Amino acid sequence: MTNGRVNPAMRLEDQGITGLGNVYYNFLVSQLLEHTVSKGEGHIGLGGTVLVNTGKFTGRSPKDKRVVRNDVTEDTIWWENNTAMTEEGFANLKADMLEHMKGRDYYVEDLYANADPVHRLNVRMVTEFAWHGIFMRHMLRRPARVELDAFVPELTVINCPSFQANPERHNCRSETVIALNLKEKLILIGGTEYAGENKKSVFTTLNYLLPEKGVMAMHCSANHAVGKTEESAVFFGLSGTGKTTLSADPKRVLIGDDEHGWDDKGIFNFEGGCYAKTINLSPEAEPEIYATTRMFGTVIENMVYDEDSLKLDFDDDSLTPNMRCAYPLFYIDNASATGVAGQPKNVIMLTCDAFGVLPPIAKLSPEQAMYHFLSGFTSKVAGTERGITEPQPTFSTCFGAPFMPRRPEVYGDLLMKKIADSGATCWLVNTGWSGGAYGTGSRMPIKATRSLLSAALDGTLKSVAFKKDPFFGFDVPVEVPGIETDLLHPRDTWKDKAAFDVQAEKLVGMFKDNFEQYMPYVSDDVKAVAIG
């Protein structure tokens, strides 16, 4: 056994994991990078980055995710959204995976989830690939070296890409499996090299545990005003809607780009790093994120690069449109050192509307916010999941259905309470299409989106006039300084106004049809929004 810092009473043997080859405990990024290269898992890029390719899986595989059904989860999991695995299937999977691991080398990283010590979860990552260890050292929060002497894992994640599941024996769908046993606090991942499965499995677990403590678990990014931690903002949104890009505002302090909690004191980051999409990334539009692609240890995932110069090609999506980079939060100059902030003053719901109907910004009442939160309308963009090659309109409740183990109303009710207690203003922001639907219109200009968000966050929009949207009933600014007026009102950007009306009515109908499933669980005020 090869050791870094580790609690001597909590080696893998104490967890029933025996017979392995070398076990490398809590290696630093530099050590993991050496192993990544020596084992042929990846290459060193410019600035000491880590260049890796994840093979056939360049995105999550949500159809292969399972939650073990037992006495703990039977009445607490939203089974219509989460696929069950039998206890017998998981037991067989665990036994077979541990047997497969014998004689092989593994990397153990003991890390924290949650910046707020009150809600902290000790996570042990056991990975077959050295670079997965780097990835998770970025994604979660690193204990001080002396803290490792007393570290006791509360959740263990084992990732073994070389293991192939047996659907019949393991009660799963294919040779790929992501199995969560919330009773044992154990997650088993096999048959995929895509690193995002690691972080999202931890996120799903937190989404299960925290609501029991009255904490709102959110798929969102967050920032706050410089020097004013009480003036924070959260940005809900699925991958591809702009969470990472829009929260990395150089004029504000970045709290985090993907996963946060909201309790009675304020908000806190679950993670310690960022996982940003790099397709079409440029130093002009996103200088902070672009700079990380030449920083030591940044994981560059599935990007084409010149083998001689090592120069990255940000426009070549031949491997996947879901090319990404993973880096620690402190690589962003204006990142929060603590990962915590006060109560949000603004709640932004990001959507990527492929229909070209929704305005670039609209103000929501609390009831409308509940409606749009439970609806979670957006368009899945190319590469985020296997098989997605162009934008597909979808409803993903809570802006993160794949990661929500409990029923949507649990999160919706918590959100309504937090909005009421904090007095936050809610906004819907469309980063999708304008001037027509996908294929006809064009993507919303990011410069305009940034300007509108700044106006919302700094209070400028408080002084402008609004008018009701005739289709959705929310308030849309009539004019905003520095923004083309036509852009604010989608119908004005379409050449064929009648075609817009048809498209808008179609989208309203899709919203209503989707929301029928929530009508028995929401208040009369929210039902009134749904009925229109």
Q: Express each pLDDT in 474-485 by its tens digit.
A: 999 999 999 999
Domain membership of residue 3 (yes or no) is: no
Which CATH number fits the domain that encloses residue 86? 3.40.449.10
Length of the chain: 532
- Residue 392 confidence class, pLDDT cut points 50, 70, 90: confident
Same domain, residue pair 63 and 138: yes
Residues of the chain by 3-state class (helix, strand, coil), percent to 5: 35, 25, 40
Spatial separation of the C-alpha atoms in residues 294 and 459, rounded to whole Å? 36
CB 394 within 8 A of CB 378: yes
Domain membership of residue 99 (yes or no) is: yes
Same domain, residue pair 174 and 255: no
Q: Express each pLDDT in 13-26 by its tens digit.
A: 999 999 999 999 99
Same domain, residue pair 127 and 239: no
- At residue 519, the pLDDT reads 96
How many Cα atoms within 13 Å fall on the side-chain side of residue 243? 27
Domain membership of residue 89 (yes or no) is: yes
The stretch 210-238 carries a mean pLDDT of 95
Instruction: Answer whether 0.85 is exceeded by the pTM.
Output: yes
Alpha-carbon distances, residue 528 vs 347, 370, 523, 525, 532 (angstroms): 21, 12, 9, 5, 6
Q: Give how many domains the chain has, as a whole number.
A: 3
Residues whose CB falls within 8 Å of the CB of residue 417, separated by 6 or more in sequence, listed in order: none
Which CATH number fits the domain that encloses residue 311? 2.170.8.10
Domain membership of residue 5 (yes or no) is: no
- At residue 382, the pLDDT reads 54
Spatial separation of the C-alpha atoms in residues 59 and 402, rounded to whole Å? 13
| Pairing mode of beta strands 216-225, 228-236 | antiparallel
Domain membership of residue 2 (yes or no) is: no
Structure tokens belonging to residue 41: 């898992």
Its domain, for residue 181, covers 12-43+55-213
Residues whose CB falls within 8 Å of the CB of residue 279, separated by 6 or more in sequence, listed in order: 314, 315, 317, 321, 322, 323, 383
Same domain, residue pair 492 and 419: yes
How many Cα atoms within 13 Å fall on the side-chain side of residue 325? 31
Catalytically active residues, by annotation: 60, 200, 219, 239, 243-244, 258, 324
The stretch 117-139 carries a mean pLDDT of 98
Same domain, residue pair 136 and 87: yes
Same domain, residue pair 281 and 352: no
- The rounded percent of the chain whose pLDDT value lies above 70 is 97
Q: Express each pLDDT in 398-433 by its tens digit.
A: 999 999 999 999 999 999 999 999 999 999 999 999
Domain membership of residue 371 (yes or no) is: yes
- Residue 389 confidence class, pLDDT cut points 50, 70, 90: low
Q: Express each pLDDT in 248-289 by its tens digit.
A: 888 999 999 999 999 999 999 999 999 999 999 999 988 999
Whose structure tokens read 């080696």?
Answer: 11
Spatial separation of the C-alpha atoms in residues 490 and 477, rounded to whole Å? 12
* pLDDT greater than 90 at residue 383: no
Same domain, residue pair 180 and 291: no
Spatial separation of the C-alpha atoms in residues 289 and 12, rounded to whole Å? 36
Q: State the alpha helices, DSSP H only, in 405-495.
A: 408-422, 446-457, 485-488, 490-493
Spatial separation of the C-alpha atoms in residues 522 and 382, rounded to whole Å? 33
CB 376 within 8 A of CB 314: no
Long-range contacts of 379-383 (CB under 8 A, 24+ apart): 379/240, 379/352, 379/353, 379/354, 379/432, 379/438, 380/238, 380/240, 381/239, 381/240, 381/321, 381/352, 382/317, 382/321, 382/322, 383/58, 383/59, 383/279, 383/317, 383/320, 383/321, 383/322, 383/323
Domain membership of residue 1 (yes or no) is: no
- At residue 239, the pLDDT reads 77
- At residue 8, the pLDDT reads 86
Same domain, residue pair 206 and 232: no
The phi and psi torsions of 6 (rounded to 5 degrees) equal -160, 145
Which CATH number fits the domain that encloses residue 240? 3.90.228.20
Q: What is the DSSP letter of 287?
A: H
Quick count: other Cβ atoms within 10 Å of Cβ 208?
A: 23
Same domain, residue pair 186 and 127: yes
Domain membership of residue 4 (yes or no) is: no
* pLDDT greater than 70 at residue 385: no
Cα 193 to chain center, whole Å? Answer: 18
Same domain, residue pair 75 and 131: yes
Pick the last residue of a domain from 171, 189, 213.
213
Residues whose CB falls within 8 Å of the CB of residue 113, separated by 6 or more in sequence, listed in order: 120, 121, 123, 140, 141, 155, 202, 206, 270, 271
Same domain, residue pair 268 and 279: no
- At residue 4, the pLDDT reads 81
- At residue 38, the pLDDT reads 98
* pLDDT greater than 60 at residue 231: yes
Spatial separation of the C-alpha atoms in residues 393 and 372, rounded to whole Å? 15
DSSP string, 222-261: EEEETTEEEEEEEEE--TTSSHHHHH--TTEEEEESSEEE
CB 510 within 8 A of CB 393: yes
- At residue 390, the pLDDT reads 56
* pLDDT greater than 70 at residue 149: yes
Pick the last residue of a domain from 309, 331, 353.
331
- At residue 6, the pLDDT reads 92
Higher confidence at residue 66 or residue 249? 66
**What value does the mean pLDDT of the chain take?**
95
Q: Residue 491 burial (CB < 10 Å; 0-12/13-18/19+)? A: middle
